Amino acid sequence: MTMTSATVVEPRALLLAQNRWHPVEIAFWLATLLPFYFFPSYLSLASQIAIAALFALSLDLILGYAGIVSLGHAAYFGMGAYTVGLISKLGWGEPLSLLVVGALSAGLLGYVTSFIIAPFRHLTLIMITLGIGLLLLEAANSASWLTGGADGLQGVRIWPLLNTFEFDLWGYTAYSYSLIVLFVVFLVARRLIHSPFGLALRGIRENAVRMPAIGAPSRTHIRKIYTISAIMAGIAGALIVETTETVSLEALSFERSADVLVMLIVGGAGRLYGGIVGSIIYMVARDQFSGVNPQYWYFWIGLLLVAIVMFLPNGVLGGLQRLTAGWKSRKP
């Protein structure tokens, strides 16, 4: 958020200006329809990307906007995923209601844990989020009678969407469904960020101690956004189970938390489109290099992280913004 001139802007006007849809944004969302016509054989991948983008968006709300560094965000993703998986195993497979239940269960976990994380910053916060993630993973691993342990949950069956659209092998339904859910959640996130509440979150990110001094209750705000973010992560987890009909411990793993962090950082944290752009880059690259041993894949991820921290502090979108800003200022 760089203001070129030092003029004082009225807050309401500032928020309204941010809330206006930019043509690039509209073009971006229209472009998400392209896979239907140009890459029909990649629709399953596209649906995975949309889900990853949703997960990254949920992390962006807490990390990019409120400055809560989390190394255990997979806890909420996995919570949503296992809730959906377990209920469908019991014989109820209606996708939309499962999505709501998955979101609620993750939200409940998020609400409870938000009380734990809200007072902390820095290393303590990182360790507590990491600990919560690992705790849930260990719990799911130990309760193998419930979760199937390392083998994953067997026998997940999801009914057709709205009783008409079967989840087909090519991913038509999966991508349409994931894209619509992503778009709806994105609208919510967008509205949230461009509200006074969103502005307060950015204030907390910049200085969590000073915010209460101007009358913004930091902890309450942090608890709110953490719960909202957990709900969104739960929706992403529920979606991945509904579109793939599998759940395993991988949904709760540290790698899952680290991957989503990498996606967000690659795209640019603290920007609404950062997570989405980052997950497109990450998932497409991983698909292209899928022949490479996953062990070596992580070498390039590591190198990418180092390079981004050193040379591209605001991710790809931040770099683009800098480029276009330079280009605009050169024009008379």
Where do contacts with other proteins occur on this chain (CB under 8 A)?
Answer: 63, 67, 69, 71, 116, 119-120, 122-124, 126-128, 130-132, 134-135, 138-139, 141-142, 254, 258, 261, 265, 269, 293, 295-299, 301-306, 308-310, 313
Of residues 14 and 126, the one with the C-beta less far from other proteins: 126
To the nearest whole angstrom, how small is the minimum distance from the Cβ of residue 321 to other proteins?
18
CA atoms within 13 A of residue 296's CA, in its CB half-sphere: 5
Of residues 45 and 69, the one with the C-beta less far from other proteins: 69
To the nearest whole angstrom, how small is the minimum distance from the Cβ of residue 222 to other proteins?
15
For tokens 């309450």, the residue is 220
To the nearest whole angstrom, how small is the minimum distance from the Cβ of residue 265 to other proteins?
6
Of residues 130 and 199, the one with the C-beta less far from other proteins: 130
To the nearest whole angstrom, how small is the minimum distance from the Cβ of residue 46 to other proteins?
26
Q: What is the DSSP letter of 213?
A: G
Phi, psi of 70 (to 5 degrees): -120, 130
Of residues 7 and 295, the one with the C-beta less far from other proteins: 295
To the nearest whole angstrom, how small is the minimum distance from the Cβ of residue 22 to other proteins?
27
CB neighbours of 319 closer than 8 A, spacing ≥ 6? 312
Nearest to 254 by CA among 73, 67, 82: 73
Of residues 216 and 304, the one with the C-beta less far from other proteins: 304
Q: Which residues pair with 165 in a beta bridge?
A: 161
The sign one gets for the Cα dihedral 232, 236, 241, 247 is negative
To the nearest whole angstrom, how small is the minimum distance from the Cβ of residue 220 to other proteins?
18
To the nearest whole angstrom, how small is the minimum distance from the Cβ of residue 139 to other proteins?
6
Q: Record the tokens describing residue 323, joined without a space.
A: 């480029």
Of residues 11 and 313, the one with the C-beta less far from other proteins: 313
What is the Cα–Cα distance from 56 to 129, expressed in whole angstroms?
16
Of residues 26 and 309, the one with the C-beta less far from other proteins: 309
Within a 10 A sphere around the Cβ of 271, how many other Cβ atoms?
23
Q: Record the tokens describing residue 301, joined without a space.
A: 């991820």
Phi, psi of 311 (to 5 degrees): -120, -20
User: If phi over 0 gives left and psi between -120 and 50 gives alpha, with beta otherwise, what is residue 138?
Assistant: alpha
